[in-house]
Every structure is written in structure tokens, then in C-alpha cells.
Amino acid sequence: MKAAFRYLHSFSGIIILVFLLHSCSSSDKKAAAPASTKPPVPKVEGYIVKTKLVSDREELPGSIIANETTEIHPEISGRLVYLNINEGRTVGKGALLAKIYDGDLQAQLKKLNVQVAVAEQTVKRMGELLKISGVSQQEYDLSVLQVNTIRADMDIIRTNISRTEVRAPFSGTLGLKNISSGSYVTPQTIISTLRQNSQLKLDFVLPERFTGSLKTGQLVDFTVEGNSKKYTARIIAAESGLAENTRSQNIRAVVTNNDGKLLPGVFAKVVTDFNTDPNGLMIPTQAILPQARGKKVIVYRSGVATFTDVTTGIRDSSLVQILTGLKAGDTIITTGLMSLKPDAKVEMGKINK
């Protein structure tokens, strides 16, 4: 009887132990249940897309050049007997700048003057004789030919004498004198330079991607070193093709507000706007997600992150232009982009405008 009682007592203990273990297991499952709940919705910041004036501002290198400029060379070789180069002086067109010795040519001209006078007298006598058939027509014609030949020789001598004179081809300002009177010169000798600074031009280069953006008659702004004034120039011509080594186009403009402080040869910095769009869309650069093919932004729509393909245009230090994919009024997400997945639910926090 006692043995039966002990057996029953042991069996009851086992049942109680199983019950307790089951209760503990249930409690653990209930305690662990909250860990299987959904993660919280991420909170992000946004930016409202709006239109604004967009332009691609570029600084282009250029140079100021004189309206006309040339080196002064003699046409023939010889010794200078006269030099009229007053450095920095303004001279008019046709002013005599230098003279080469022409004594030998003047002597030849005098000789021909005597010969032509005699030949003309001969023609006059031959004409009288021809009237009375004292000479033939051929003899008379030969005497006339002699006169014309001498006169042609005189014209050649006069031309050579004029080539001994070095004259200003246009009105302008003389540069520095490179030789002195009495020097022997050749056509390769540079006597001085002549520049017409009353009207200055601006030459600058236009990159290939902007070819066709500037038109004849359009105004451009430029500045020069050491001068805070903003100058303007009107485009007058463009090179017919691109330079192969730089892939750029040469542009020429006329300075419209020269104040006398600009000098030919100074470096100019041309500042102008390209691709101007009064209704451009600009968004923060951190909102762009680069992809293997193209770019995306995440648009916030009714609490959902929508990935949208976009094409971009010009950019600055903080903003980038959107050409396609967005419209004014869209709200894009600017923070936490790397942790978001397509069509994920998000909570919008701060919105920048």
C-alpha cells in the first residue's frame, strides 16, 4: 500500500513538473512575440521642386586687339636718309615715316626727261615731213614708239622712287623705333609698328558644346586684369569652322564702351550665360541617385517612396538642373536615400523650399 502511494506521489510530481515547463515555454513565446512586429516607418526630409531662372554661366578667355595693326617694313633695300618715327605719336594715313636714298633713281629720271624731250622734237619733225611725203608712215610710227618707250621707262623709275618712301598705311599710333637714321634696311627690317587704337576688338574662343549659342550682334560682357569696370562688346563675326587642336570656335567682337584704359594685347575674361531657361527645375545634388544607366530621384507620393528616372543638365556647387522626370510641385526625398527601397512607406519630416 505504501509502495503504491509512493508511486502515485512520484507520478503527480512529474505531471506538475511538465505543467510548469509548459507554462514557462508559453511565457517565453508571449514575451518574444513583440520582437516579430514590423519595423518603424523611416522619417525623411524633402524638397519641393519649383521653377527658377537657370543659365550656364561660363568664363571664356579672350584678348584685346587693335582695330588695325601692322609692322612697318620698307619695300626695297637701301640706306635710310630720313626717319620720322616719333614713338607713341599718332600719325595720319599717308604720313611719311622713312625715306631711302634715291639719288641714283633721280639721276636716271633726269636722263630720261632729256631723252623724251629730244624724242618728242623728233616726232614733231617727222610729222611735218610725213605731210609732204618726206618720210614713210613706218618711220613716223617708230619715232612715236620711241617717245612712248621712254615715257614708260620714266613711269618705272617714278614707281621705284615712290617705293623708297615708307608711308603710314592708315591712321594710328606708332610703336617703338627699332632702327636709326642712316641704317641699311631690307624688306625684312621692322622699322616700327602701327596700331589703330581708336576702335578696339575682342577675340575669344567658344567651346564646341556652345557652338551656335552666340549670334552676330549679340552683346557680351568682359573684364580685364587690374580694372574693376565691366566692359561690353558686340559680336561681329565668327570663324567658319572649329580649331582641330582645341575643338573651339574663334569669335570676334567690337568693344562698345572703350574708356581709353584698354590696351591691345591685354587678357580679357568674357562672362556670359548659355542655355538660359526661365522655367528651369533645380534640385539639391544629394537627391540624385546614380545608376548604372542613368540617374534616379525618389519622389514622395502619399507616404510612399517612388523611384523616378531623370535626366540632368547644368549644375553648380549645390544644385543640379532636371530636364525630364520631374515637374514643379513634386516633393523629392533628400535624406536617407541609401536605406530606402522602391515603394517603401516613409514619414515626411522637414520640407525645404
Rg (CA), the chain: 48
- Whole-number Å distance between alpha carbons of 168 and 188: 17
Q: What is the fold, at CATH topology level, of the domain defined by 74-100+166-190?
A: OB fold (Dihydrolipoamide Acetyltransferase, E2P) (2.40.50)
Domain locations along the chain: 44-55+278-352, 59-66+196-276, 74-100+166-190, 102-163
Q: What is the fold, at CATH topology level, of the domain defined by 44-55+278-352?
A: 2.40.420
Q: What is the fold, at CATH topology level, of the domain defined by 59-66+196-276?
A: Elongation Factor Tu (Ef-tu); domain 3 (2.40.30)
pLDDT in tens, 21-63: 555 444 444 444 454 567 788 899 999 998 888 877 788 999 9
Identify which has the larger pLDDT, 13 or 315: 315
Look-up: residue for cell 603710314? 168
Percent of the chain with pLDDT over 70: 89
Rounded to 5°, angle at Cα 148 from 143 and 152: 150
The yes-or-no verdict on residue 94 having pLDDT over 90 is: yes
Strand partners for 274: 56
Q: State the pLDDT confidence band at 1, using cuts at 50, 70 and 90.
A: very low
Least confident of 153-162, 200-209, 266-275: 266-275
Q: Region 285-303: what's the mean pLDDT?
A: 91
The yes-or-no verdict on residue 9 having pLDDT over 50 is: no
Name the grid cell of 59.
568664363
Identify which has the larger pLDDT, 13 or 198: 198
pLDDT of residue 226: 85
pLDDT of residue 37: 65
Q: Mean of the per-residue pLDDT values for the chain? A: 87
pLDDT in tens, 304-341: 999 999 999 888 778 898 999 999 999 999 998 988 99
The yes-or-no verdict on residue 183 having pLDDT over 50 is: yes
Into which CATH architecture does domain 102-163 fall?
A: Orthogonal Bundle (1.10)
- Whole-number Å distance between alpha carbons of 118 and 121: 5
Name the grid cell of 141.
610710227
Question: Does this chain's domain 44-55+278-352 share its CATH topology with 102-163?
Answer: no
* Longest Cα–Cα distance in the chain: 196
pLDDT of residue 33: 45
pLDDT in tens, 223-263: 998 888 999 999 999 998 888 888 899 999 999 988 888 98
pTM, rounded to two decimals = 0.62
Name the grid cell of 71.
609692322
